[in-house]
Amino acid sequence: MLSMDICADDTAPDPRVCASVMRSERAALDTIGRYKNVSRGETVIWAGDESTICGNLLSGVLKLVACTTQGREQIVGLLYPADFVGQPYPGRAEFTITAMTDAELCVYSRRAFERLLTDQAGMERLLLQRTLAALNIARRQMWTLARTSAAEKVAGFLIDMTSRTASSGCRATYDAPVTFDLPLSRGQIADVLGLTIQTVSRQMTHLKAAGIIRLPGGRAITITDSIGLEARAVAA
């Protein structure tokens, strides 16, 4: 891992924690932060291990995984650019965090970050705001899984994927259809949504037949009718 001045640019917009804090706090983060590149399939944090790092996801997608008593893995959450990775204060990690794509993180020693939070009230407040926002997202996801149909779940998931991958997706013009690679297999999507693989595949086929999406091949997907997709998400 290579240490560098990762918070030095005051003008470029980015998803890092340091982009949202004051100059003095940014300088303090710069002294403890470093870039970390991880490959698809590589585990960043293991559940049950001592929690030694936390940080900010800059690019790529990570998954949070819990293991059942039977040893089955369950995806309980996804992390996208701008999301915080790991947690300060707890001694051991609760979930395993693994890269679903090649990813880049800005990581901090957990203990150094905790000391920084003690000294920098503004940064502590920012982290609290992000934590509460993540909690609200988790609560909305729980409501979605409990109250919506399979069609609504899949459409809503694709909407979320579109917004999360907008920066890496490909489109000819601003309002043209966007094409991107799904970071999850259909089996993993089924795990996240509480559905079967067959149900996810069936709903994808319905959306394709309706002209709402195209499936060019592999994990690529093109959203051709975003309004229609939104309608399916709320009124399937």
pLDDT, one tens digit per residue, over 101-149 is 899 999 988 888 888 877 776 666 666 666 666 666 666 666 666 667 9
The encoded tokens of residue 101 equal 């794509």
State how far the Cα of 202 lies from the Cα of 198, in Å rounded to an integer: 6
Res 43: pLDDT: 95
Res 68: pLDDT: 73
The encoded tokens of residue 161 equal 């994927």
Domains of the chain, first to last: 17-144 (2.60.120.10), 148-234 (1.10.10.10)
pLDDT of residue 10 exceeding 50: no
| Torsion angles phi and psi, residue 204, rounded to 5 | -60, -40
State how far the Cα of 189 lies from the Cα of 191, in Å rounded to an integer: 5
The encoded tokens of residue 196 equal 């079967």
pLDDT of residue 175 exceeding 90: no
Which pTM value belongs to this model? 0.69
SS3 category, 108: strand
Res 73: pLDDT: 79
Closest by alpha carbon to 162, among 106, 207, 206, 202? Answer: 207
pLDDT of residue 170 exceeding 90: no
pLDDT of residue 177 exceeding 90: no
pLDDT of residue 22 exceeding 60: no
